[in-house]
Amino acid sequence: MDVKEAVYKRRSVRSFTQQEVPQEVLAELVDAARVGPAAANRQPLEYVAVTDPQLREEIFACLKWAAYIAPRGNPQPGHHPTAYLVVLRRKDYELEGMSLYDVGAAVQTILLMAVAKGLGACWLKSVNYPRVAKLLGVPEGVEVDSVIALGYPDEEPRLVNLEPDQEGLEVIKYWRDEQGQHYVPKRALAAVLHRERYGNRG
């Protein structure tokens, strides 16, 4: 799979088969993120890879999923993630105001590598941070930034063009149809690309 294919195939997945994800595969994802860009090369990010079934369920209870369609968009019993990468920020390594850029670059790398490995993933920021930190024994001076849920996908969300509603406003909310198919609207290329000057879309 080339990079372009991975980019267009990547969607947030919220339903998983129960096939286990090997720790070796998670290590490959982290290794790819590790060599990515970091402000001033400070490299404040660390990760906890979680595959233990009991701990997975405790992490699952700390997460909120798919706000636009909750609870319908939540992973159902028997379709929970089979692995997590918990993204941590070491405060003593951070360059003030810049670590969130590091996180964005690292997580996108992980998400694309996950697709290339046949995995589905969902990046979550609606997290009970104190509880996750306690579960994982995260020490003072290290913060839980976000959680990446992983597993082999049991759904294939579809990308569709973002359309205006009756009032002409762009409808950004994703949805599921009666068959459970998940749809994700994105703004068209022509709506976001300006050539040479802002407003020139020719």
In order, the DSSP letters of 113-140 are: HHHHTT-EEEEE--B-HHHHHHHHTPPT
Q: Domain 3-151 class?
A: alpha beta
The reply to whether 3-151 and 158-192 are identical in fold is: no
Q: Domain 158-192 class?
A: mainly beta
The most distant pair of C-alpha atoms in the chain lies apart, rounded to whole Å, by 55
> Hunting for tokens 């976000």 — which residue is that?
146
Q: Would you kindly state where each structural domain of the chain is located, as residue ranges?
A: 3-151, 158-192
Rounded Cα–Cα distance for residues 36 and 159 (Å) = 27
Cβ pair 76, 69 in contact under 8 A: no
Would you write out the chain's pLDDT as a tens digit for each of its 202 residues? 899 999 999 999 999 999 999 999 999 999 999 999 999 999 999 999 999 999 999 999 999 998 888 888 899 999 999 999 999 999 999 988 899 999 999 999 999 999 999 999 999 999 999 999 999 999 999 999 999 999 999 999 998 988 777 776 777 888 888 888 999 999 889 889 999 999 998 6
Q: What is the pTM of this model?
A: 0.93
